[in-house]
Amino acid sequence: MDGSVDEHGWFAGARRIESPNQDPRPPGAEVEVLIVHAISLPEGVYGGDAVERLFTNRLPAGERPEYAGLRDLRVSAHFFVRRDGELIQFVSCRARAWHAGVSLCEGRARVNDFSVGIELEGTDHGPFEDRQYETLVGLSRALMRRYPRVRAERLYGHSDIAPGRKTDPGPYFDWSRYRRALMHEASPPKAGEDAL
């Protein structure tokens, strides 16, 4: 997915659904890391609008038994990548999305202050789709161009910043594939080598 992040923090290739679950970043805070999550509602059910409704406080807690515990939850992420690769943006990258919760990244708490949260439609129990990786890589490249402190070694899973509390994106997420694709873009071929 090609695209760029504009000066207001919006990605040109994303469908925009603004979430109320956001607030300004603290003065001087910059985007430095990307946090990859996985979510599906109900778990393992794909293609509906439940995640969109959760992030916009429109998920009726009584609709399904598994939603009861989400009644007062106020969460969001900057981005949501559907199974077919569609990208939805809920919060401008200039604002703080409420995605990390109690967490620690690079020795720092308040991870929402300096991160962008990207949710993949999925679970810990199965692989992600090729189109999701394509979208994630394109989005990550755009974020790395806009925010130079974000580099391939500063990509984390929710489980990395909240171990014991969170397990996503889980063992089926292919970190090697993700980082390799980003590094390939960052390193042009040497003289005499063909690009893959």
Q: Which of 84, 98, 110, 109 has its CA nearest to residue 37? A: 98
Does residue 119 form part of some domain? yes
Question: Rounded to 5 degrees, what angle do the CA atoms 103, 104, 106 make?
Answer: 155
Look at residue 185 in the predicted model and tell me its pLDDT: 57
Q: Are 141 and 187 in contact (CB under 8 A)?
A: no
CA distance linking residue 134 with residue 15, whole number of Å: 16
Phi, psi of 124 (to 5 degrees): -75, -10
Q: Are 142 and 9 in contact (CB under 8 A)?
A: no
Q: Which domain holds residue 83?
A: 19-183
Does residue 4 form part of some domain? no
Q: Are 155 and 34 in contact (CB under 8 A)?
A: yes
Whether this prediction's pTM lies above 0.95 is answered by no
Does residue 42 form part of some domain? yes
Look at residue 115 in the predicted model and tell me its pLDDT: 98
Domain count, the chain: 1
Does residue 126 form part of some domain? yes
According to DSSP, residue 163 is labeled: B
Does residue 87 form part of some domain? yes
Look at residue 188 in the predicted model and tell me its pLDDT: 43
Look at residue 196 in the predicted model and tell me its pLDDT: 34
Structure tokens at 162: 């909240």
pLDDT in tens, the chain (196 residues): 678 999 999 999 999 999 999 999 999 999 999 999 999 999 999 999 999 999 999 999 888 998 988 988 999 999 999 999 999 999 999 999 999 999 999 999 999 999 999 999 999 999 999 999 999 999 999 999 999 999 999 999 999 999 999 999 999 999 999 999 998 754 444 444 333 3
For residue 50, what is the domain's CATH number?
3.40.80.10
Look at residue 184 in the predicted model and tell me its pLDDT: 79
Look at residue 61 in the predicted model and tell me its pLDDT: 83
Q: Is the dihedral of CA 119, 142, 155, 188 positive or negative?
A: positive
Task: Tell me the residue type at 161.
Answer: I
Does residue 44 form part of some domain? yes
Active site residues: 119
